[in-house]
Structures are given as C-alpha cells and as structure tokens.
Amino acid sequence: MRSLIIPMVVGLVALGTGTFDRAVADDCRISDSALCLANPNCHWDVDKRGCEPGPLKTEDACAAHSDKGVCDSDATLGCTWSAEKNECATKAK
C-alpha cells in the first residue's frame, strides 16, 4: 500500500498540470466579442470570427491602400508608396 502512494501522487500532479494548461487555452473560447475583448489574455480575430489567445498582432494601417495615388494622397496616416515592395507603408519617422 505504501509503495502505491508515490506513483498516485505523481499521477495526480501530472493530471493537474495538464488540466491547468488546457484551462488557459480554454479561457479564450468565447463566442462574444465584447467578453473576449474584456479578457486581457485574448483578442478578437475578425478574419476567423472568433476569440484567439494572445495579444492582437498590429498591422500597418497604410497597407489597406492598394493604389499608389491613394497611398501618396493620404496625409492623415502619413503613408508613402514603396516601389521595391510595390505596396503602401507608413513613412519612417
């Protein structure tokens, strides 16, 4: 009986650790965008239409401009056309 105590304790610790890791991942399984945004460990992914773990990946606001004329005329965001990459990007400060 005494020889079974140590394996049982080790087994319970292993189960508890696995459950804790899964609970962190399940924390972001929210179908409501407002509840998702209220959780600092999650962000709402518009493309996947769901709550994802981790911080939101920042994207260059000027990347939405696909035309050189529109890109160069945008003074609000400070966009400039990159001839090498053939895309619109924010001007380096």
In this prediction, residue 1 carries a pLDDT of: 61
State pLDDT tens for residues 8-59.
777 667 666 655 445 545 789 888 989 998 999 999 988 888 999 998 888 8
In this prediction, residue 31 carries a pLDDT of: 87
Print burial letters for 79-91: b (CB count within 10 Å at least 16), e (below 16). bbbeeeeeebbee
Write out the residue range of the structural domain in which residue 23 sits. 2-53
Is residue 48 domain-shared with residue 13, that is, in the same domain?
yes
Is residue 37 domain-shared with residue 70, that is, in the same domain?
no
Is residue 35 domain-shared with residue 70, that is, in the same domain?
no
Is residue 42 domain-shared with residue 71, that is, in the same domain?
no
3-state secondary structure of 73: helix
In this prediction, residue 64 carries a pLDDT of: 87
**Structural domain count, the chain:** 2
In this prediction, residue 15 carries a pLDDT of: 66
Distance CA 61, CA 87 (A): 12
Is residue 47 domain-shared with residue 27, that is, in the same domain?
yes
